[in-house]
């Protein structure tokens, strides 16, 4: 892979929590590379280190060692305006959407605040039109949800608001941590297709973070299998599913009842 094809890569990325005998190496010397416009999944069970790795890529956690290179630039230690510019290009959908909300802000303010990343390039009318379009894209009627507060929404509804925010910003890299975990089964397929459509229409690179190998196979071109802080297997989704190599990957395979689109409706 040439450097021109990469949107982000890590070099020997490591994160250690604690010190001495109580130190826990959550991410251990991980080097990965993600191509522009690629849809990739980082797969591992709880405690594998996948969310810690994702939060470092988002610059929400500072690495203990190693580097993060985004579009050829070292972003490992950026702060201030540089970090704001980075967050315009790199966005997230978290597994726990409630933590992403200001509990005192209604939905419309949560979405309108996203325009702070754009340096006021849109008029008030343009902003509101874009907010409405993004809410409609996730099956909301803007007049019904815009004035509601987080505690008035279900977990799935809060998740859809955060997906609407990502749809609004249209980042270059979207990191989606269990993005459909709280969404009803009848909406799950449509929401995944909406996220994938960002790649087709906006050229967004998408990294799904999930424990579910079935979902990963359905949405991804390539898989990264993570276990105990390390990437233990990576490659094309079809190849890993048909010929898993690492024992941990085989264990994940055993936990998947079906690898088909029918999974989305179960």
Q: Which residue has the higher pLDDT, 188 or 68?
A: 68
With beta carbons less than 8 A apart as the criterion, state whether 111 and 145 touch.
Answer: no
Specify the range with the lowest mean pLDDT, choosing from 106-115, 195-204, 237-246. 195-204
> What pTM was estimated for this model as a whole?
0.86
Task: Please give the pLDDT value at position 183.
Answer: 73
Q: Which residue has the higher pLDDT, 19 or 30?
A: 30
Res. 265 pLDDT band, cuts 50 70 90:
very low
Q: Which residue has the higher pLDDT, 39 or 179?
A: 39
Enumerate domains of the chain plus CATH numbers. 3-19+38-47+59-104+171-226+237-265 (3.40.50.300)
* Helix 185-202 vs helix 155-169: crossing angle, to nearest 10: 10
Max avg pLDDT among 27-31, 43-47, 133-137: 27-31
Q: Give residue for tokens 């973070």.
A: 209
With beta carbons less than 8 A apart as the criterion, state whether 107 and 152 touch.
Answer: no
3-class DSSP assignment, residue 224? strand
Distance of alpha carbon 158 from alpha carbon 191, whole angstroms: 13
Distance of alpha carbon 173 from alpha carbon 86, whole angstroms: 10
Give the side-chain half-sphere CA count within 13 A for 15.
Answer: 23
Structure tokens at 98: 């409630």
Q: Average pLDDT of 189-194? A: 81
Closest CA to 172 of 213, 117, 126: 117
Residue 92 has pLDDT above 60, yes or no: yes
Closest CA to 106 of 147, 46, 61, 48: 147
Residue 23 has pLDDT above 70, yes or no: yes
By DSSP bridging, strand 65-70 and strand 6-17 are antiparallel
Listed in sequence order, the residues at least 6 apart from 265 whose beta carbon sits closer than 8 Å to its beta carbon are 185, 186, 188, 189
Q: Which residue has the higher pLDDT, 184 or 199?
A: 199
Closest CA to 164 of 206, 134, 200: 134
Structure tokens at 83: 């970090």
Residue 192 has pLDDT above 50, yes or no: yes
Res. 257 pLDDT band, cuts 50 70 90:
low
Task: Please give the pLDDT value at position 202.
Answer: 86
Task: Please give the pLDDT value at position 57.
Answer: 97
With beta carbons less than 8 A apart as the criterion, state whether 59 and 80 touch.
Answer: no
Q: Average pLDDT of 118-138? A: 88
């Amino acid at each position: 892979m040439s450097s021109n094809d990469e949107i982000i890569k890590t070099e020997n990325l490591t994160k250690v929590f604690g010190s001495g005998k109580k130190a826990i190496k959550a991410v251990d010397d991980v080097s990965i590379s993600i191509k522009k416009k690629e849809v990739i999944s980082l797969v591992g069970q709880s405690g594998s280190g996948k969310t810690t790795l994702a939060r470092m890529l988002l610059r929400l956690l500072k690495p203990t060692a190693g580097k993060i290179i985004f579009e050829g630039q070292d972003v490992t230690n950026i702060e201030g305006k540089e970090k704001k510019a980075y967050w315009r290009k790199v966005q997230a959908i978290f597994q726990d959407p409630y933590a992403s909300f200001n509990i005192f802000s209604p939905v419309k303010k949560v979405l309108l605040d996203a325009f702070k990343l754009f340096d006021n390039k849109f008029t008030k009318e343009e902003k509101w039109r874009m907010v409405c379009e993004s809410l409609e894209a996730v099956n909301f009627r803007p007049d019904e949800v815009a004035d509601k507060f987080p505690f008035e929404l279900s977990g799935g509804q809060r998740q859809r608001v955060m997906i609407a925010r990502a749809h609004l910003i249209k980042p270059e890299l979207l990191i989606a941590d269990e993005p459909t975990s709280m969404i009803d089964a009848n909406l799950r397929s449509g929401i995944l297709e909406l996220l994938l459509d960002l790649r087709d229409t906006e050229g967004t690179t998408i990294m799904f973070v999930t424990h579910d190998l079935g979902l990963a196979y359905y949405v991804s071109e390539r898989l990264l299998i993570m276990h105990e802080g390390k990437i233990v297997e990576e490659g094309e989704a079809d190849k890993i599913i048909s010929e898993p190599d690492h024992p941990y990957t085989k264990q994940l395979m055993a936990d998947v009842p079906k690898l088909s689109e029918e999974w989305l409706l179960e």
